Structure 1
């Protein structure tokens, strides 16, 4: 079995930290290596504990999650930061994603969704909660910020994968649903990225919506 992903939790609410601590302890894919109550503590704890992934609250008393994300990535550009917050507005998500976070989850996500996101982020994926992803897509369509082009031919499996990405499923969940190896799913997603000239799951969903392949 591969080594567990080292996780640092940053949140100023003790109840949230307690809940995360409890369910992270129940999954051997991850291990909690530290906690911080404010963004001002993050770099010091990162230097001591060397996390692979940081779960980052956005609104904190002294140093908020956006600035703390920048500090983490200055410390180690290879560390992965996932925002975990109550905010669902797209501008909040854009703010922290532009600061370098690779993911944005809302706090009503299930423990399984959060852990799957941690594992996926560590593997190099970008993870966004479905409800926030939908807001991105709707905002982009309403503002007409993208140009619609003809879609290259897709296989039935690729269409299924796109539909599951839109529902927020991880690569592992998609592989389980389709009864394929996770590596096969990743290869299909890479092909879609290359064919559509997009970089991540959110852009796949946006393009698929523009082309009428899926609807939200």
Structure 2
């Protein structure tokens, strides 16, 4: 079909790539244009094949799926990237979504769910596996329950740290950006957790959004 979605598969496991090829090729809404075994190769193959949607594993050697997502979108911002991974934790999802991915699926999704997600992503929708959505909701509720009546005062550096967390940067990357030691960044994050009564980076981002400190 001339209007079929052009899909690139990126995964370091040959068996996974084979399984994805097997059912993607059977759907006339999909044209499989290529595959890559790691994040570095993904960028090169993407430039050669011009996919509409990339199915991207997260944990890969050398260049991770998160970093590959950033690089691909720097090269082609219109490309749609759907993470396909074994991880169900909300922080893993948030990390790649902030890197620019439009979807997050777990590998126990059915072939029909994966194909539907590819088509939906190409149409401009955001797609997230139900079990990961549930974790987001639970975390948001927990964050809301811990809300304090007043907004604790943050230092300017702590506000910068929160902003960079919202962009998906790691502690080391934040330290490089702000020219501080990584231990200083970790101390800032611990202090923010104590001030706001939260436990992790996702809750920090949710609370900062609620308080209007950042805009997603």
Band the TM-score falls in, shorter-chain normalisation: 0.5 to 0.7
CA shift in 2, pair 1:16/1:145, >3 Å:
farther
In the TM superposition, what is the alpha-carbon distance from 1:145 to its structure 2 partner? 7.9
* CA RMSD, 1 decimal: 1.6
In the TM superposition, what is the alpha-carbon distance from 1:7 to its structure 2 partner? 0.3
CA–CA distance in 1 between the matches of 2:113 and 2:129?
Answer: 9
CA–CA distance in 2 between the matches of 1:128 and 1:146?
Answer: 26
CA–CA distance in 2 between the matches of 1:47 and 1:146?
Answer: 46
- 4+ runs of 1 displaced by more than 3 Å? none
Per-residue CA deviation, residues 88-111 of structure 1 (Å, 9 max, x unaligned), is 000000000000000000000000
Gaps of 5+ in 1: 148-216
Aligned to 1:61: 61
CA–CA distance in 2 between the matches of 1:48 and 1:11?
Answer: 17
Aligned to 1:72: 72
Per-residue CA deviation, residues 124-177 of structure 1 (Å, 9 max, x unaligned), is 000000000000000010011899xxxxxxxxxxxxxxxxxxxxxxxxxxxxxx
Whether the aligned pair in 2 keeps the contact of 1:83 and 1:101 (CA below 8 Å) is yes
CA–CA distance in 2 between the matches of 1:145 and 1:80?
Answer: 35
Aligned to 1:162: none
Aligned to 1:102: 102
Task: Map 1:137-152 onto structure 2 (within 5 A).
Answer: 137-144=137-144
CA–CA distance in 1 between the matches of 2:134 and 2:70?
Answer: 26
TM-score by length of 1: 0.66
Secondary structure of the corresponding residue to residue 82 of structure 2:
strand
CA–CA distance in 2 between the matches of 1:87 and 1:145?
Answer: 26
Aligned to 2:50: 50
Aligned to 1:81: 81
Aligned to 1:209: none
CA–CA distance in 2 between the matches of 1:7 and 1:37?
Answer: 15
In the TM superposition, what is the alpha-carbon distance from 1:49 to its structure 2 partner? 0.3
Whether the aligned pair in 2 keeps the contact of 1:140 and 1:146 (CA below 8 Å) is no
In the TM superposition, what is the alpha-carbon distance from 1:44 to its structure 2 partner? 1.0
Gaps of 5+ in 2: 148-216
| Larger mean Cα displacement after TM superposition, 52-61 or 39-48 | 39-48
In the TM superposition, what is the alpha-carbon distance from 1:43 to its structure 2 partner? 1.5
CA–CA distance in 2 between the matches of 1:37 and 1:22?
Answer: 17
- Report which of the two structures shows the higher radius of gyration computed on alpha carbons: 2
TM-score by length of 2: 0.66
In the TM superposition, what is the alpha-carbon distance from 1:68 to its structure 2 partner? 0.3
Per-residue CA deviation, residues 35-89 of structure 1 (Å, 9 max, x unaligned), is 0000011121111100000000000011000000001101100000000000000
CA–CA distance in 1 between the matches of 2:102 and 2:14?
Answer: 24
CA–CA distance in 2 between the matches of 1:146 and 1:3?
Answer: 48
CA shift in 2, pair 1:105/1:146, >3 Å:
farther
